[in-house]
Amino acid sequence: MAQEGLEVMLCMPTIGHYLASTRYANVIAVRTSTDYVNHQRGQVEMLRYLEEFQRALNSPQRNLRQNLLLSFLAGVLGLAPSYDVFITNQHHPEGFAEPDALRQALARALSAGIVGIGDKLDQVDRGIVGRLAFPDGTLSQPDHPPYPVGTTLQSDATAFYTTTSISGYRWTYVALFNLAEDKREYHLDLGPFLRGTESVVYDYMAGEQVAESQLMPGLTGELQSGEYRYWVIAPQASGLYLLGFLDKYVTMAGRQVHRVAADLEGVTIEMELPTGSNYTFALIPAGNRIGRTLSVAGCGIQCQSVAPLGGLTCIDFRVDAPRCSLVLRG
């Protein structure tokens, strides 16, 4: 295949295949997950009448640690990881409903790899797909597959993180999963991600900034079996914490955001986005910016509104040219 110039994605590989792939530039991806169908009750029940498809139903969290760690290995070796195709629709008919669709989507968003959608064409949950991709189908991805948080690796409440770096600024995405079959307590110290940086921690699922008092002793809580938490750590640029596109799991991605430039007056964000669509960019003013009027201009965009929302400032704009920019001043 290399001689014919054909690119290859490995499927069902051994670790030997992972290592051997480093000899071949045309091996670009690998499926890192076990069979999705084994975690879907409706599909397993439909296949039981076929002797060759006798399957035991696995819980959604059973193989997640393995899948995430294999994605980590794939990234180290220069391969794009690929999870199996999944169903986005929590109410899909004909036995294909996926109650765990949101977490399935989050794991794929953070993988920095290929995403496959398995719904019938008229049953795709476009809201969930919208958290993964922009209107033209390009994925919003971090720079690399998730790394395990070492202090949690031996726990059933295991955390993984990945990052996006643009113009010297870094966004960190941290997900914590309960991989046990019963509830577990967790303690997660985000301190190592915050040292030496001016950053804010945003609880993505709660839709609010995490208070500094919660961060000092570390985040603690209890998770039911299969439950998860997700935080976005966003940097400060010229007095503005840039959260990004909160309708995406990966709120800032290098494919869409090419450059962030800050000066004493504000920030310029250079982007490449599908035209003819509306977008919302979210930020949090730092202490010295709270209460000050924020003006928005740019190139290739039409700013439609700048409004506070639950502690955030949300900028709604329409894109008229693919290469565009937001200029924030105030």
**Please, what is the Cα angle at 29 between 17 and 253, to 5 degrees?**
145
For 193, other C-beta atoms within 10 Å of its C-beta total 18
Amino acid at 242: L
Whole-structure pTM value: 0.94
Structure tokens at 255: 């494919």
Are 97 and 119 contacting, i.e. CB atoms less than 8 angstroms apart?
A: no
pLDDT at 47: 78
CA distances from 135 to 251, 254, 275 (A): 15, 16, 9
Task: Give the neighbor-by-neighbor strand order of the sheet with 257-262.
Answer: 257-262, 266-272, 323-329, 295-299
Residue ranges in the chain whose pLDDT is less than 70? 50-55, 288-291
Element containing residue 147 per DSSP (H, E): strand 147-148
Domains of the chain with bracketed CATH: 8-132 (no CATH), 147-329 (2.60.40.1180)
pLDDT at 324: 97
Question: Which of 143, 177, 180, 181 has its CA nearest to residue 162?
Answer: 143
What per-residue string of b and e applies to 245-278 under the rule 16 or more CB within 10 Å gives b? bbebbbbbbbebbeebebeeebbbbbbbbeeeee
pLDDT at 291: 62
pLDDT at 197: 81
313 half-sphere exposure, CB direction, 13 A CA radius = 19
